[in-house]
C-alpha cells in the first residue's frame, strides 16, 4: 500500500493530472495563476515576443501588478510600465493593478481573491511563496518561465521534498511571526531548506492570523525553500469570505503523509530576533545587537506591511516621536491597507510621530527606488533581505526585524527590544 501524500504533493499531482507524484520526480503541471510585476514583466514580454505563436492561454489567469518602481521614478521606469500597460490592453488581461489601484503584488493577489487553497501559482518574483499562507502551492520563477506559462498555461516542476514544521506555544507580547521565521533562518541557514517545501502546522500556526501566516510563508525563500504552506482552516476560509468568487477546491495533507523530515519550534520563550547584515541567516536575539545607532527605520514590504504590522508599530509610536536624526518610512502594503490604516487613525499616528508615510509599493527594500542608504548608514527594517548593497550603498548596513522592533528602534534611535519601549 502506498503512503499518504503531503499537501505539496497533492496539489502538484492534481495540477499534473496524475494520481500521485513523488519527491524528486519531474512533472509538467497546469498552472492556475501567473503573476508578473513592473520589473520582471518586461523581460517576460521580451521572451513572449520571441515565441512563434504569441497568444495568451487564458488572460483571466494572468495578474500584472505595478509595485517595484512606482510611481515611476525615472523616464526608463515609465517606459517599461507603458509597455506592460499596452500588453495588458492588447491581450485583454483585466487583472491589472496600476498605481493607486493595488499595491505590493504579494498582498494584492490574496487580498483581491486571486489565490485559492489548492491552487498552483507561479510568479516572476521570489516572494511568490507568500500565497502558501492560503494553502496554495506558490513559487517564484523567472521571466522566461512566465512567458512559457502565458503561452501554454503549463510549466515544468521538480516535486520538492516536503518538511513538516510544527510550531507550538504562545508568542510573548511584541514577538510575532517575523521573529519566528528569522529564528528559523538562523537555525537552518540560508540554504537550509534549499528546494524543499515547508508545511507549517501546530497550535501557534493554527491561532496565527492570515497576516502572520503570510509573513511566515513569505520568507521561506530566505531559507532556500521552494514553497511554504499552511493547510487551509477556519482562519483561511474566513479570510476568503467576500474575496473569492466561485467554488473552492481545497486540498489537505493525507493522514500518514510521508514527510522528508520534521522540525519542531516552540515560541513560548522566543525573544525578538534581528538578522544582521549581510545574511538573512545571521540572526541574533535583539539583546545582542541592542544599542546600535540607526539612521533609518523602514516599516512595510511584502513581508510586514499589513494591518497587524501597522497596528503593532502604531501601538508603540502613539504619543511618541521618531528620534531626531532618524528618518522613518512607512509603506502600507496595499491601497486597501492604506485606506483601513487611514480609517483606523494609524496613518495619523505615524505622521504625528514624524514618520514619512508613502504610497503602497516595495519602497527601499530592493534598493531601486526611494529611501536609499548612504555609505556607512544603518537601517532597521521590517523587509526581507539585508544583502550587501540591497538598500543602496554597498557600504550601508540593513538589520532585519519585526514591525515592533523597527518602531521601538525608531523611537530610541538605536536597535531596541520593543518590550523595553512598550512594557512586557
Partner 1 sequence: MRVEGRALKFGDNVNTDLILPGKYLVLTRPEDLAAHAMEGLDPGFPRKAQEYGLVVAGVNFGGGSSREHAALALKHAGVRCVVAESFARIFFRNAINNGLPAVACPGISSKVEEGDRLEVELEKGLVTNKSKGVTLQAKPFPGFLLGILRDGGLIPHLNKKHSENKPSLGEGKPSRQGVSSPF
Interface positions with partner 1 (CB under 8 A): 16, 18, 20-28, 39-40, 42-43, 46-47, 50-53, 68-69, 74, 76-77, 80, 124-126, 128, 140-145, 147-148, 151-152, 154, 156-159, 190-191, 194-195, 224, 226, 279, 366-368, 385, 387-390, 394
User: Least distance from C-beta 282 to partner 1, angstroms?
Assistant: 11
3-state secondary structure of 328: strand
User: Least distance from C-beta 21 to partner 1, angstroms?
Assistant: 5
User: Least distance from C-beta 367 to partner 1, angstroms?
Assistant: 4
Q: Which is nearer to partner 1, 50 or 86 (CB)?
A: 50
Direct distance between the N- and C-terminal alpha carbons of the chain, in angstroms, rounded to an integer:
53
User: Least distance from C-beta 175 to partner 1, angstroms?
Assistant: 26
User: Least distance from C-beta 158 to partner 1, angstroms?
Assistant: 7
Q: What is the DSSP string of 265-309?
A: EE-TTPPPEEEPTT-TT-EEEGGGTTT-B-SEEEEEHHHH-SHHH
User: Least distance from C-beta 73 to partner 1, angstroms?
Assistant: 9
Q: Which is nearer to partner 1, 20 or 243 (CB)?
A: 20
The full length of the chain comes to: 424
Q: Which is nearer to partner 1, 292 or 366 (CB)?
A: 366
The three grid cell numbers given for residue 195, joined into one nine-digit string: 528546494
Contact present, 277 and 386 (Cβ < 8 Å): yes
Q: Which is nearer to partner 1, 391 or 404 (CB)?
A: 391
* Burial environment of residue 43 by CB neighbours within 10 A (0 to 12, 13 to 18, 19 or more): middle
Q: Which is nearer to partner 1, 293 or 394 (CB)?
A: 394
User: Least distance from C-beta 365 to partner 1, angstroms?
Assistant: 9
b or e along 158-176 (b: 16 or more beta carbons within 10 Å of the residue's beta carbon)? ebbbbbbbbbeeebbebbb
Q: How far is C-alpha 137 from the chain's CA centre?
A: 14
Q: Kind and range of the H or E element at 155?
A: strand 154-158
Q: In what order do the strands lie in the sheet with 227-229?
A: 227-229, 197-201, 162-168, 261-266
Instruction: Kindly report the number of other CB atoms within 10 A of residue 94's CB atom.
Output: 10
Q: Which is nearer to partner 1, 128 or 405 (CB)?
A: 128
Q: Which is nearer to partner 1, 195 or 287 (CB)?
A: 195
Amino acid at each position: 500500500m502506498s503512503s499518504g501524500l503531503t499537501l505539496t504533493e497533492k496539489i502538484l499531482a492534481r495540477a499534473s493530472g496524475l494520481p500521485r507524484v513523488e519527491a524528486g520526480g519531474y512533472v509538467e503541471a497546469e498552472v492556475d495563476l501567473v503573476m508578473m510585476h513592473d520589473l520582471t514583466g518586461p523581460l517576460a514580454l521580451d521572451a513572449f515576443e520571441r515565441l512563434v505563436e504569441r497568444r495568451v492561454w487564458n488572460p483571466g489567469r494572468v495578474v500584472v501588478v505595478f509595485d517595484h518602481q512606482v510611481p515611476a521614478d525615472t523616464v526608463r521606469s515609465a517606459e517599461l510600465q507603458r509597455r506592460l500597460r499596452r500588453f495588458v490592453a492588447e491581450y485583454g488581461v483585466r487583472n491589472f493593478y496600476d498605481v493607486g489601484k493595488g499595491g505590493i503584488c504579494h498582498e494584492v493577489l490574496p487580498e483581491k481573491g486571486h489565490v485559492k487553497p489548492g491552487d498552483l501559482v507561479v510568479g516572476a518574483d521570489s516572494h511568490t511563496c507568500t500565497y502558501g499562507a492560503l494553502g496554495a502551492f506558490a513559487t517564484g520563477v523567472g521571466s522566461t518561465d512566465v512567458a512559457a506559462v502565458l503561452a501554454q498555461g503549463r510549466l515544468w516542476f521538480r516535486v520538492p521534498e516536503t518538511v513538516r514544521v510544527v510550531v507550538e506555544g504562545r508568542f510573548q507580547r511584541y514577538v510575532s511571526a517575523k521573529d519566528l521565521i528569522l529564528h528559523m533562518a538562523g537555525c537552518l541557514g540560508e540554504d537550509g531548506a534549499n528546494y524543499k517545501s515547508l508545511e507549517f502546522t501546530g497550535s501557534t500556526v493554527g491561532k496565527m492570523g492570515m497576516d502572520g501566516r503570510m509573513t511566515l510563508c513569505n520568507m521561506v525563500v530566505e531559507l532556500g525553500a521552494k514553497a511554504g504552506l499552511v493547510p487551509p482552516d477556519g482562519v483561511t476560509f474566513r479570510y476568503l469570505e467576500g474575496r473569492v468568487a466561485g467554488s473552492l477546491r481545497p486540498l489537505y495533507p493525507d493522514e500518514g503523509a510521508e514527510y522528508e523530515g520534521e522540525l519542531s519550534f516552540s515560541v513560548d520563550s522566543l525573544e525578538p530576533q534581528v538578522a544582521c547584515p549581510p545574511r538573512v541567516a545571521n540572526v541574533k536575539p535583539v539583546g545582542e545587537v541592542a544599542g546600535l545607532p540607526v539612521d533609518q527605520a523602514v516599516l512595510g514590504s511584502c513581508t510586514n506591511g499589513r494591518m497587524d504590522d501597522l497596528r503593532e508599530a502604531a501601538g508603540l509610536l502613539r504619543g511618541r516621536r521618531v528620534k531626531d536624526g532618524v528618518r522613518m518610512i512607512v509603506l502600507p502594503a496595499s491601497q486597501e491597507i492604506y485606506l483601513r490604516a487611514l480609517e483606523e487613525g494609524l496613518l495619523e499616528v505615524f505622521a504625528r510621530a514624524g514618520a514619512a508615510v508613502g504610497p503602497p509599493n516595495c519602497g527601499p527594500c530592493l534598493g531601486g527606488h526611494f529611501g536609499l542608504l548612504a555609505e556607512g548608514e544603518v537601517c532597521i527594517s521590517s523587509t526581507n533581505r539585508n544583502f550587501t548593497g540591497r538598500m543602496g550603498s554597498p557600504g550601508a548596513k540593513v538589520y532585519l526585524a519585526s514591525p515592533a522592533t523597527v518602531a521601538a528602534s525608531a523611537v530610541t534611535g538605536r536597535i531596541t527590544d520593543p518590550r523595553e519601549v512598550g512594557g512586557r
